[in-house]
C-alpha cells in the first residue's frame, strides 16, 4: 500500500511539474508578445498608447499566470503533502488568493484606463471587477480574522 502511495505521489508531482512548466511557458510567451507589440508600435508610429494598455493587460495576466505556476510548483511539486499542517495549508491558501487579488486589481485598473480613454459608458464592467477584487481582499481579511485563534 505504501509503495502504491509513493508511485501515486510521484505521478502527481510529475503531472503538476508539467502543468507548471506549461503555465510558465505560456506566461513568458504572453509577456514576450506584449513587449513585441510595444516594439512594433514604437517603430511603426502607430497607436502607441493603445499598444501600451494592451501590453499592460498581457503582462499583468502573464505575471499572474507565472505566479500561479510558481505557487503550484512550490506547493505541489517541491513540498511534501503529508507534512502540511493546517497552518501551512492556510498560509498556502492565503498566498494563492493574494496572487489572485493582485491580478484582479491590476487587470481592473487596466480596464478602467482603457474604458476611460475609449468609451466612458463601458466603465461599469471594470468597476465591478475592481469591486470583486476588493471583496476578495475583504474576504481574505475575514478569513484571517476567523482562523487566527487556531494558530494559538
Q: What is d(CA 144, CA 134) in angstroms, rounded to the nearest whole number?
A: 15
Rg (CA), the chain: 20
**The predicted structure's pLDDT at residue 151:** 52
Q: Burial of 100 by CB count in 10 Å (0-12 exposed, 13-18 middle, 19+ buried)?
A: middle
Angle of helix 48-72 versus helix 86-118 axis, rounded to 10: 170
Distances (CA, A) of 39 to 36, 43, 47, 62, 117: 5, 6, 12, 18, 22
Q: How far apart are CA 50 and CA 48, in angstroms?
A: 5
Mean pLDDT (10-residue bins), the chain, 152 residues = 83 90 94 92 80 85 88 81 70 82 83 76 85 91 80 52
Among all chains, which residue has been given the C-alpha cell 498608447? Answer: 49
Task: Note the Cα 36 to chain centre separation in Å.
Answer: 22
Which pLDDT score is estimated for 27? 94
Can you give the length of the chain in residues?
A: 152
Per-residue buried b or exposed e for 67-86, using 16+ beta carbons within 10 Å of the residue's own CB: bbbebbbebbbeeeeeeeee
Amino acid at each position: 500500500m505504501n509503495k502504491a502511495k509513493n508511485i501515486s505521489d510521484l505521478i502527481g508531482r510529475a503531472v503538476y511539474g508539467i502543468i507548471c512548466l506549461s503555465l510558465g511557458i505560456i506566461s513568458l510567451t504572453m509577456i514576450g508578445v506584449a513587449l513585441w507589440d510595444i516594439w512594433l508600435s514604437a517603430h511603426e508610429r502607430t497607436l502607441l498608447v493603445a499598444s501600451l494598455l494592451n501590453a499592460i493587460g498581457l503582462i499583468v495576466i502573464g505575471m499572474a499566470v507565472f505566479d500561479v505556476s510558481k505557487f503550484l510548483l512550490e506547493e505541489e511539486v517541491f513540498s511534501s503533502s503529508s507534512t502540511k499542517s493546517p497552518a501551512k495549508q492556510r498560509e498556502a491558501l492565503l498566498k494563492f488568493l493574494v496572487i489572485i487579488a493582485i491580478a484582479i486589481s491590476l487587470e481592473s485598473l487596466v480596464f478602467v484606463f482603457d474604458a476611460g480613454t475609449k468609451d466612458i459608458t463601458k466603465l461599469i464592467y471594470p468597476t465591478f471587477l475592481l469591486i470583486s477584487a476588493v471583496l476578495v481582499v475583504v474576504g481574505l481579511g475575514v478569513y484571517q480574522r476567523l482562523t487566527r485563534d487556531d494558530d494559538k
